[in-house]
Each structure stands twice: as structure tokens, then as C-alpha cells.
């Protein structure tokens, strides 16, 4: 979580720019070609940014708004963002002013079907994701029939056939202005300079493979194929030799076929698989010690939107607008971390019989801000240590009247209030009181989905 907070926080501001208009065709490409690669959350983020960008507004919004719209944690928004960046659908810029981070996002249009399916990385990635049958059906759906106009003669007129310049003088036109629209990408952003072409060409003689064959287009295809099939420059020398045509040129189709044939002969008959780097990293540490109940709860509090936490505390019922507005105000106006706000919500709700008292919550929030509380764990520790003081604030805020003596109601506490199972504060509660608190603690754990291991 600490690394995530260095990358992106809910209070960070963002602005959207659409360099050109998007169409229904773009939506089809996003849904059918890109969604299997970046996931539903990635496409949902793209569509949300698309909708925001169409407003043509210079307004900036906090990322907390995206958390509420998409209903996911800031961590998932960050993962969706970098997936869009990697696939060429989004570019991000960042700067910091007076302690606040600002992001500018620019959406890129998806590649057209032909460019996507001819790209060796994207086509293989899609094939891995959806399977051979679905891939063939999708390909056939977008392939234009080559013989649709067979037997017809092209009778279209040219510009010069229809128009001619006038002898009348007109206004001068400036050609130096910069326009909002710009050229769309026609290939996946791929930095082929990382491939060692010097080593590749050292083993290829000028007579066998002339330097003129190593065009920019050929180099990009070679680098992509080397990445896809995990081949080094020495192995790619053999692929290049196999791909040369009679005119000693390297066509894209021949390079693809030669590389696939070489891979089948020397490595494996099965096609290579492209994996997400973050997913592979997350699957490695399987032998780590299981998280404790408190660690699980901290992870939940750090990665969940306050609106979802309010809903979980209310057993699935939608929280009232005032509670949501208070949580949003703490995050956006006071720049409090989401995990800290979630701890505050739990603590105040359970200490005030499920009433989110605004003044009481803001008083504790002000104390935590002065203490520079950054994480849910720090907030939990401070709530434990300052519990007696917070109880005094609560009692001062409630106007109590004198009534006939009634049995004292047991005060509820959040599940994280006690550090260990069976460990309670020595405040003179009866045995029944301790049992009631323990039951409440277990109940809240069950509601939050935190179970014993």
C-alpha cells in the first residue's frame, strides 16, 4: 500500500483531454478487441474518462470521484490506468504544486481492426485471451471481402474533375495555427530501440542482408517478434535470413511467418503467452505467512471506498446522503487518506449508536490531521490511545438530562479496537460486558467478510 500511495491518491486532481472525437466504431473496437486485454475495469475507466472529456471543460476533479463512479478502490483505478497506458489507449502527465498532485490524461483512439489484427503482439495477446474459435469469428467479422466489387469499374471523379480555382481574389489563409485534432495512432506504442540491433547485424553480412532491408518498419516488427517469442538477437538473425524475399527485402508477413516457424521448430509447438507483469508478480508470493485478522481489516480499510464501508456497516443498505457527503468532504476538502477516513467512520458510528455525528467526527478528524495520520493502522493506534479523550468529547457534545437511574448500555467498539483476541482494556467492565463486546466484535468481523484463518 505504501508504494500505491506514492503513485496515486484519491485527493489527487485530474483533467481530461480528447484530442479528437470518438465514434461508435471506436466503442466496438474497445469492447471486442481491447476489453479482453485490459479487463472490464480498464474499459470502464476509459469510457468514464471519455464521458468526462466530452464536456470540454477545464474543470479538474479528484480521483475520489472516479472511485465513487466506478465503485472500486483507488488501487484498482491505478491498475486500470497503467493497463490503458501500456496498451496505447491513454497517456498521463503529472506535476505537483503546493503539496497537491495534478494529472492530465489524454485518451487515444483504439487502433482500427486491420492494424490491430496485423500487429503481432496484439493479435497474439487477443488469441491467448479469447481462444482460437472466438478469434477467427472476430477476425471474419471485421475482414472486408476482397471480391465485393469484382467486375466493377471505378468511375469516381477526382477533385480536379469537379473543382477549379477561381480568378477572384480571396482572403489570405494562415497555415501555422495548431488545431485540437491530431493524427491517430496506427500501431501499438512500442519502443523497439531497446532491442540490440547492433548485435543482430554483426552476424549478418551486407551481401546476405543489406542495410537497406533494415527499414524502420522492419526493425519495429523484428523487435515486437523478439519480445513476443522471447528470442535474443542471435536467434533473430536466423529468422531474418529465413524471411528475406527474392529482392532481399523484409516484408512484415514473411517476418511473422519465419519467426513462428522458427519458434515451432526450436522452442515449442504451442503459441507463446503474454502475461500481465503485475498479475505475475502478485501470483509469486504464495508461501507468505497468512495475514492476521487485523492485517486483513487494514487492507480492507485502505483499499475500499468510504461509500462502500458505510454500506457494509449498514449491512448492505444504501447510506444516507448526509453521511456520504461527510465522507466525501473529509477526503476531498481535507485531503485525508481513504483508509484514515474509513477508520474514523467505523469508530464514530459504533461509538454513537450508528449515528454519524458531524461535529464529533470533524473534531476527531481535526485531531488526526494535526497528528499527521496517514494510514489506517496509525489511525487505529491513535483511536486506542486517545479513547478516553474522545469519550469526553462525545459526552460534552451530547446534552444529557437527569432521569431516573437506568441500566447502563454497553458501548460498542470497532473490531480493531482490541489488538489481540481476548485482550481488553482494564476499565472495570463486568464479565458479561466483555462477552457482549466480544460478540459485537465477531459480528462486525463477519459483516466485513473478515474471518479467522
Q: Over the stretch 311-361, which tens digit does the pLDDT of each residue have?
A: 888 888 888 888 888 888 888 777 788 889 999 998 888 877 788 888 888
R_g over Cα of the chain = 31
Same domain, 123 and 98: no
Residue 80 CA: distances (Å) to CA of 50, 73, 390:
14, 11, 39
Q: Is 208 a domain residue?
A: yes
Same domain, 116 and 103: no
Whether the CB-CB separation of 15 and 60 falls below 8 Å is answered with yes
391-400 per-residue burial string, b: 16 or more CB within 10 A, e: under 16: eeebeeeeee
Q: Is 61 a domain residue?
A: yes
In this structure, of 107-111, 228-232, 407-411, the range with the lowest mean pLDDT score is 407-411
Domain end call among 390, 407, 436? 390
Domain end call among 110, 134, 168? 110
pLDDT at 286 over 70: no
pLDDT score recorded for residue 400: 47
Whether the CB-CB separation of 115 and 126 falls below 8 Å is answered with no
Distance CA 8, CA 21 (A): 28
Same domain, 337 and 246: no
Q: Over the stretch 156-196, which tens digit does the pLDDT of each residue have?
A: 988 778 877 766 655 665 656 665 555 666 666 655 566 78
pLDDT at 230 over 90: no
Same domain, 98 and 136: no
pLDDT at 61 over 70: yes
The three cell numbers locating residue 351: 461509538
Q: What is the mean pLDDT of residues 113-126?
A: 89
Same domain, 106 and 40: yes
Same domain, 128 and 71: no
Same domain, 224 and 262: yes
Same domain, 129 and 215: no
Confidence of residue 418 (pLDDT cuts 50, 70, 90): low
Tell me which range, 252-261, 281-290, 328-337, 407-416, is most confidently predicted by mean pLDDT: 252-261
Mean pLDDT, all residues of the chain: 78
CATH number of the domain at 98, please.
1.10.10
Q: Is 340 a domain residue?
A: yes
Total domains present in the chain = 4
DSSP 20-79: S---HHHHHHIIIIIHHHHHHHHHHHHHHHHHHHTT-----EEHHHHHHHHT--HHHHHH
Whether the CB-CB separation of 298 and 339 falls below 8 Å is answered with yes
Q: Is 343 a domain residue?
A: yes
Q: Is 452 a domain residue?
A: no
pLDDT at 218 over 70: yes
Same domain, 263 and 314: no
415-452 per-residue burial string, b: 16 or more CB within 10 A, e: under 16: bbbbeeeeebeeeeeeeeeeeebeebbeebbeebebee
Side-chain half-sphere exposure of 365, counting CA atoms within 13 A: 26
Domain end call among 235, 253, 268? 268
Q: Is 417 a domain residue?
A: no
Whether the CB-CB separation of 274 and 125 falls below 8 Å is answered with yes
Q: What is the extent of the structural domain holding 209?
A: 197-268
Whether the CB-CB separation of 10 and 74 falls below 8 Å is answered with yes
Q: Over the stretch 32-45, which tens digit does the pLDDT of each residue have?
A: 999 999 999 999 99
Same domain, 299 and 231: no
Same domain, 37 and 102: yes
Q: Over the stretch 62-86, which tens digit does the pLDDT of each residue have?
A: 999 999 899 888 889 999 999 999 9
Q: Is 126 a domain residue?
A: yes
Q: Over the stretch 357-380, which tens digit does the pLDDT of each residue have?
A: 888 888 889 989 898 898 989 988
Residue 72 CA: distances (Å) to CA of 27, 41, 42, 307:
22, 9, 11, 10
Same domain, 333 and 373: yes
Amino acid at each position: 500500500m505504501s508504494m500505491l500511495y506514492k503513485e496515486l491518491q484519491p485527493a489527487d486532481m485530474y483533467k481530461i483531454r480528447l484530442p479528437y472525437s470518438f465514434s461508435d466504431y471506436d466503442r466496438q473496437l474497445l469492447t471486442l478487441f481491447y476489453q479482453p486485454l485490459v479487463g472490464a475495469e480498464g474499459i470502464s475507466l476509459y469510457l468514464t474518462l471519455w464521458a468526462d472529456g466530452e464536456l470540454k471543460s477545464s474543470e479538474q476533479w479528484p480521483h475520489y470521484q472516479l472511485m465513487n463512479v466506478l465503485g472500486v478502490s483507488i488501487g484498482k483505478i491505478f491498475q486500470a490506468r497503467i493497463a490503458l497506458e501500456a496498451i496505447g489507449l491513454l497517456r498521463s502527465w503529472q506535476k505537483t504544486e503546493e503539496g497537491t498532485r495534478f494529472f492530465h490524461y489524454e485518451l487515444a483512439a483504439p487502433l482500427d481492426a486491420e492494424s490491430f489484427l496485423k500487429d503481432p503482439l496484439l493479435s497474439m495477446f487477443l488469441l491467448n485471451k479469447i481462444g482460437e474459435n472466438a478469434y477467427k469469428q472476430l477476425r471474419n467479422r471485421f475482414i472486408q471481402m476482397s471480391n465485393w466489387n469484382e467486375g466493377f469499374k471505378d468511375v469516381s471523379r477526382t477533385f480536379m474533375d469537379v473543382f477549379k480555382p477561381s480568378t477572384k481574389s480571396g482572403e489570405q489563409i494562415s497555415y501555422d495555427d495548431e488545431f485540437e485534432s491530431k493524427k491517430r495512432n496506427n500501431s501499438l506504442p512500442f519502443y523497439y530501440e531497446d532491442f540490440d540491433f547492433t548485435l543482430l547485424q554483426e552476424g549478418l553480412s551486407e551481401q546476405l542482408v543489406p542495410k537497406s532491408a533494415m527499414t524502420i518498419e522492419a526493425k519495429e516488427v523484428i523487435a515486437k517478434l523478439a519480445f513476443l517469442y522471447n528470442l535474443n538477437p542471435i536467434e533473430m538473425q536466423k529468422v531474418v535470413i529465413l524471411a528475406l524475399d527474392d529482392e532481399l527485402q523484409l516484408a512484415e508477413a514473411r517476418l511473422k511467418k519465419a519467426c513462428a516457424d522458427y519458434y515451432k521448430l526450436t522452442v515449442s509447438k504451442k503459441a507463446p503467452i503474454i502475461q500481465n507483469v503485475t498479475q505475475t508478480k502478485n501470483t509469486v508470493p504464495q508461501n507468505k505467512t497468512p495475514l492476521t485478522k487485523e492485517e486483513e481489516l487494514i487492507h480492507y480499510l485502505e483499499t475500499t471506498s468510504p461509500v462502500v464501508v458505510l454500506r457494509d456497516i449498514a449491512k448492505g443498505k444504501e447510506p444516507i446522503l448526509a453521511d456520504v457527503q461527510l465522507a466525501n468532504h473529509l477526503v476531498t476538502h481535507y485531503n485525508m487518506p481513504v483508509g484514515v477516513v474509513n477508520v474514523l467512520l467505523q469508530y464514530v458510528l459504533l461509538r454513537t449508536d450508528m449515528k454519524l455525528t458531524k461535529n464529533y467526527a470533524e473534531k476527531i478528524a481535526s485531531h488526526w490531521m494535526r497528528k499527521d495520520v496517514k494510514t489506517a493502522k496509525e489511525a487505529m493506534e491513535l483511536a486506542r490511545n486517545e479513547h478516553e479523550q474522545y469519550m469526553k468529547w462525545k459526552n460534552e457534545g451530547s446534552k444529557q438530562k437527569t432521569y431516573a437511574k437506568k441500566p447502563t448500555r454497553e458501548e460498542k467498539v470497532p473490531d480493531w479496537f482490541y489488538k489481540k483476541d481476548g485482550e481488553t482494556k482494564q476499565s472495570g467492565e463486568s464479565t458479561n460486558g466483555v462477552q457482549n463486546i466480544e460478540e459485537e466484535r465477531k459480528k462486525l468481523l463477519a459483516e466485513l467478510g473478515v474471518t479467522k484463518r
